[in-house]
């Protein structure tokens, strides 16, 4: 799985917007997840069913990471995410991902 895949919401298939983590460990955009929970509470990715509405944990590590990437995009002439990924130093991703 590439880094770009890991930062992609499996519901809207674009980069996370306000990522949240649910108890099974999967991440989604907050809005995507809440929209999918109109009828029942289950993970759109692994299909784990929750009896009650799980607490949404904001994935702060992931949020910070995305904000930084956004910053890089805005302040450079790079147009695509893939260009940004290629410039990131390797330890960066590991450090950010432990924050969730």
User: Which tokens is 59 given?
Assistant: 């994935």
- Shortest separation between residue 9's beta carbon and Zn ion, angstroms: 3
When the beta carbons of 46 and 64 are compared against Zn ion, the nearer one is 46
- Interface residue list for Zn ion (CB under 5 A): 9, 11-12, 24, 26, 29, 32, 43, 45-46
The tokens for 2 are 């590439």
CB of 32 to Zn ion, least distance (A): 3
Residue 91 CB, nearest approach to Zn ion (Å)? 27
Identity of the residue, 7 or 29, whose beta carbon is nearer to Zn ion in the bound complex:
29
Contact 28, 9 (CB under 8 A): yes
Sign of CA dihedral 57, 61, 64, 65: negative
Q: Pick between residue 9 and residue 96 the one whose CB is nearest to Zn ion.
A: 9
Looking up tokens 């990131």 gives 88
Residue 31 tokens, joined: 């809005």
């Amino acid at each position: 799985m590439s880094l770009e895949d890991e930062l992609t919401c499996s519901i809207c298939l674009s980069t996370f917007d306000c990522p949240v983590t649910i108890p099974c460990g999967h991440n989604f955009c907050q809005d995507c997840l809440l929209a999918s929970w109109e009828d029942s509470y289950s993970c759109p990715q692994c299909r784990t069913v929750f009896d009650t509405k799980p607490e949404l944990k904001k994935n702060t590590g992931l949020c910070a990471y995305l904000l930084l990437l956004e910053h890089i995009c805005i302040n450079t002439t790079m147009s695509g995410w893939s260009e940004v990924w290629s410039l990131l130093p390797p330890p960066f991703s590991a450090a950010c991902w432990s924050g969730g």
